[in-house]
Amino acid sequence: MALGLLNLILAGCFSAALAQYFDSSALYSPLWGESPGQLNDYRLENGKFTINPQVFTNRMGMYKNLLTQTAKYSEKFAPANEQNFLWGLPLFYGCQYKLGILADPSRRTRCSYRSRNHLCISVDSYWGDKDFYLYVLPLFAAADSGILGISSDQVMLLPPPKHEMSTSYHVSGCQSSFPEIMENWSSFYQYIESTSSKFIDFLKYYWNAQTKSLEYPATVFKDM
């Protein structure tokens, strides 16, 4: 499973988005209003904002925080944060939720958005694991760049109940494990903070960071 499947998922998401274009309820990702809008909405534990990545709204809140904190930089291109390229991340994530691919693929548990446990993201979901590179690394790079207004050691993730050693859960760990991807996201944030930033270059920096975030898991999970 690699980038070919990713393209199919993206095509499905975009088709669904077009079909619902005139539906006002589709303007935001699922459970957008219920997701944390600021880091203070997460649990504070030992001076760190602690996020449970296996809860759908917790992950969505990470995107929501990124969009909120970068809104002032996109105002030069369009009002109301409309031209912020980071919108693509929660929209793609929300589409995965609606397609049911974040659920338990074995169906041995009730981890599914159509069940009472609808906020659960299965630790056995291929996409739930792969998304790590598209929600954690952008957030941690933003914290490290000062975009979030906190120090880089003030935010961390709770490890999942399995696969504990497969990912990093704090900024320094990600810097050590994924230096190139983190650097690409940091470069994106540094550029948008520049007063001389241009829309086309804004897009280039974002596209480079997002592409690097997808290329790495495509090689790691190629046999899945």
Q: Return the domain boundaries, the chain.
A: 3-220
- How does DSSP classify residue 176? H
Q: Mean pLDDT throughout 73-89?
A: 87
Q: For the chain, percent helix, then strand, then coil, each to nearest 5?
A: 60, 5, 35
pLDDT for residue 215: 86
Q: Helices in the chain by DSSP H: which ranges? A: 3-19, 56-74, 88-99, 126-130, 132-145, 171-177, 179-193, 199-220
Residue 99 or 167, more confident: 99
* Residue range 164-208, pLDDT digits in tens: 556 688 999 999 999 999 999 999 999 989 888 888 898 899 999
3-class state of residue 48 by DSSP: strand
Q: From residue 50, how far is each of 66, 93, 149, 216 by CA, in Å?
A: 16, 20, 16, 26
pLDDT for residue 124: 87
The token pair at 12 is 């499905």
* Residue range 3-20, pLDDT digits in tens: 444 544 454 454 444 344
Whether the CB-CB separation of 224 and 5 falls below 8 Å is answered with no
The token pair at 189 is 């944030």
Amino acid at 141: A
- How does DSSP classify residue 159? P
pLDDT for residue 12: 46
